[in-house]
Amino acid sequence: MKLSMFALLAVLLTESVACAENWPNWRGPRGDGTSLETNLPIEWDATTGKNIVWKVPVPYGGHSSPAVWGDMVFVTGADEAKPRRMLMAFDRKSGKLLWEVDVEEAPLEKKHKLNSWASGTPATDGKLVYVTFLDEKEMLVAAYDFSGKQQWKVKPGVFSSVHGYCSCPVLFEGTVIVNGDHDGDAYIVALDREKGTTVWKTPRENRTRSYCTPIIRDLGGRTQMILSGSKCVASYDPRTGKRHWILDGPTEQFVASPVENKGLIFITGGFPDKHIIAIDPTGSDKITESSHVKWHHLNKGVSYVPSPVAAGDFFYCVADGGIGGCYDAVTGEIKWQERLGRHHSGSLVTAEGRVYFLDDDGITHVLKVGPTFEVIATNKLGEEAYSSPAISQGQFLIRGDKHLFCIGK
């Protein structure tokens, strides 16, 4: 009997460890807002303390989301008084601020009223933490170890945008990749992860600001790094920067990151027109809507800033103005469109058959994955929130306007 109990305990512990994931960068371990975590809370309320593990002040403002590795939580911020750009590390178990480092002192750039001076989410490989900011007219990328010691800092290219800066580092093999779409000679650059030296730098076709973080997938027998922006959607080889294919349009500027489901790439967003398109990523060179776009919706319920998520057979997004929607991933059929709050900046996440919509008022609407509109919880953070949730170790880490929250059972 004792042996059976020990065996059962071992199985439970193994399953718990197997489901535990780090959230090492923008939109998590797969870069798409999906989590394999289990036993996550469905309900919380920061005004009553329900399922709030801890709540701590964040000393510097910003819209970047948390990156989590083990018991370390990393966020960036801007000290507007200096002014300087900061990297902060918190203890996941207690919320204690472990250290903060001054990445760069630089004037506050002109930005959109809904942007911040620290919007790029850090990325970590468990050894180093990578951050990127704007230093006046140049992109800045830096790496720090887990004690806060700087390992390198480089400026791989110029950057100009009246809406400010936001780019999230993407880690691939031995490189850190950063999107440099801007109102000038735009580019994507890959830096050596250990040294910061440039591995490749690929020019972009159009001189137009965009803020999309690419995703990397093995599709069509090749590794593809896919992003929208600069008046196009394009796929590149993340090892060399060589382009696989490009789709012109469907509009000028993009912010939301793409996602993949059922072998299709989903793009949402755009200015001045807003689109959702599902792309077959098996093409080469110039592809067109008639050759590789499987379905296409325009304007209503389409997000510009919040990134979408794919779950099960469905694709979910929320418009900045608060209209959420569910689509059949293969056909594009609209299953439902409903209001979910006043305004959204944060991106969607999904776990355990649920989709979490965090709005700018700090209210999270929890919906059941499926073709029908079913809200199973509405949770209050007690302050505004412009970041996206991180999920790790059975907990949510959410950066509010003033505080960092750890939410768990």
Structural domain contains residue 80: yes
Rounded distance between C-alpha atoms, residue 155 and residue 138, angstroms: 6
Structural domain contains residue 17: no
List, as one string, the DSSP characters of 275-333. Answer: EEEEE-TT--EEE-HHHHEEEEEESTT--SSS--EEETTEEEEE-TTSEEEEEETTT--
pLDDT at 3 over 50: no
Question: What pLDDT, on the 0 to 100 scale, is given for residue 20?
Answer: 86
- Residue written as tokens 């998520």? 309
226-240 confidence digits (pLDDT tens): 999 988 999 999 999
Predicted model pTM? 0.94
89-103 confidence digits (pLDDT tens): 999 999 999 999 999
333-381 confidence digits (pLDDT tens): 999 999 999 999 999 999 999 999 999 999 999 999 999 999 999 999 9
Question: What pLDDT, on the 0 to 100 scale, is given for residue 253?
Answer: 86
282-291 confidence digits (pLDDT tens): 999 999 999 9
Rounded distance between C-alpha atoms, residue 354 and residue 370, angstroms: 9
For 314, counting Cβ atoms within 10 Å of its Cβ (0-12 exposed, 13-18 middle, 19+ buried), the class is buried
Query: Cβ atoms within 10 A of the Cβ of 363, count?
Result: 18
Structural domain contains residue 40: yes
Peptide bond into 29 cis (omega under 30): no
Pick the range with the lowest mean pLDDT from 47-56, 206-215, 314-323: 206-215
Bridge partners for 190 per DSSP: 177, 200
Instruction: Give the H/E segment covering residue 9.
Output: helix 2-19
Mean pLDDT score of the chain, rounded to an integer? 94
Structural domain contains residue 7: no
Domain count, the chain: 1
Structural domain contains residue 69: yes
Task: Return the higher-pLDDT residue of 104 and 252.
Answer: 104
As a dihedral over the C-alpha atoms of residue 108, residue 112, residue 116, residue 119, rounded to 10 degrees, the angle is: -110
**pLDDT confidence tier of residue 251, bands split at 50, 70 and 90:** confident
Question: What pLDDT, on the 0 to 100 scale, is given for residue 384?
Answer: 98
pLDDT at 17 over 90: no
List, as one string, the DSSP characters of 40-71. Answer: --S--BTTTTBTEEEEEE-SSB--PPPEEETT
Which tokens hold the place of 301? 């319920």
Residue 318: phi, psi to the nearest 5? Answer: -135, 130
Q: What is the CATH number of the domain that holds 149?
A: 2.130.10.10
User: From residue 55, how far is each of 10, 47, 367, 383, 394 by CA, in Å?
Assistant: 33, 11, 25, 12, 17
143-194 confidence digits (pLDDT tens): 999 999 999 999 999 999 999 999 999 999 999 999 999 999 999 999 999 9
pLDDT at 14 over 80: no
**pLDDT confidence tier of residue 2, bands split at 50, 70 and 90:** very low
28-47 confidence digits (pLDDT tens): 999 999 999 999 999 999 99
Structural domain contains residue 12: no
What does DSSP assign to residue 74?
Answer: E
Structural domain contains residue 336: yes
75-90 confidence digits (pLDDT tens): 999 999 999 999 999 9
pLDDT at 223 over 50: yes
Which tokens hold the place of 375? 């809200």
Sign of the dihedral defined by the CA atoms of residues 101, 102, 104, 106, in that order: positive
Bridge partners for 153 per DSSP: 142
pLDDT at 107 over 70: yes
**pLDDT confidence tier of residue 270, bands split at 50, 70 and 90:** confident
Question: What pLDDT, on the 0 to 100 scale, is given for residue 206?
Answer: 80
Strands 314-318 and 363-368, bridge-based pairing: unpaired
Range of the domain at 105: 23-407
Residues in contact with 6: Cβ distance below 8 Å, sequence separation at least 6, in sequence order: none
Question: What pLDDT, on the 0 to 100 scale, is given for residue 19?
Answer: 64
Structural domain contains residue 14: no
Question: What pLDDT, on the 0 to 100 scale, is given for residue 269?
Answer: 86
Task: Return the higher-pLDDT residue of 125 and 231.
Answer: 125
The percent helix, strand, coil of the chain (3-state, each to 5) is 5, 45, 50
Rounded distance between C-alpha atoms, residue 45 and residue 258, angstroms: 31
